[in-house]
Amino acid sequence: MIRVTQGHEKGVGLELFIKAFFCIPKSKQPLFILYCNKNTLIECLKNAQLPFDIEDNSLVIFSNKLKLCFVEHKLSQSTDSLNSALESMGPKDILLTLPSSKDQILSDKKIVFKGYTDFLRTAYPQSELVMSFVSPDFNAALLTDHVAVKDIEDNLSKNIFEERVNSAIRGFQTIRNIENVYIAGVNPHCGEDGIISEYDNFLQESVSKIKDTFPKIKICGLIPGDTILFNPQNKNNLFIFTFHDQALGPFKRLNGLTGINLTLGLPFKRVSVDHGTAFDLFGKNSANYQGMLYLLDEILNWA
Residues 134 and 249 in one domain: yes
Residue 145's pLDDT band, with cuts at 50, 70 and 90, is confident
Question: What is the rounded average pLDDT for all residues in the chain?
Answer: 94
Residue 108 confidence (pLDDT): 86
Checking if the pLDDT of 256 tops 90, the result is no
Residues 282 and 253 in one domain: no
Could you tell me the CATH number of the domain that includes residue 120? 3.40.50
Residue 290's pLDDT band, with cuts at 50, 70 and 90, is very high
CA triple 253-257-258, angle to 5 deg: 95
Residues 143 and 207 in one domain: yes
Residue 110 confidence (pLDDT): 82
- How many helices (H) and strands (E) the chain has is answered by 8, 13
Distance of CA 79 to the CA centre of its chain: 16
Domain of residue 232: give its range: 128-261
Percent of the chain with pLDDT over 90: 85
Helices 13-21, 290-302: axis angle to 10 degrees equals 60
Residue 191 confidence (pLDDT): 84
Number of domains in the chain: 2
How many Cβ atoms from other residues are within 10 Å of residue 152's Cβ? 18
Checking if the pLDDT of 196 tops 90, the result is no
Checking if the pLDDT of 29 tops 90, the result is yes
Find the range with the poorest average confidence among 93-102, 165-174, 189-198, 243-252: 189-198
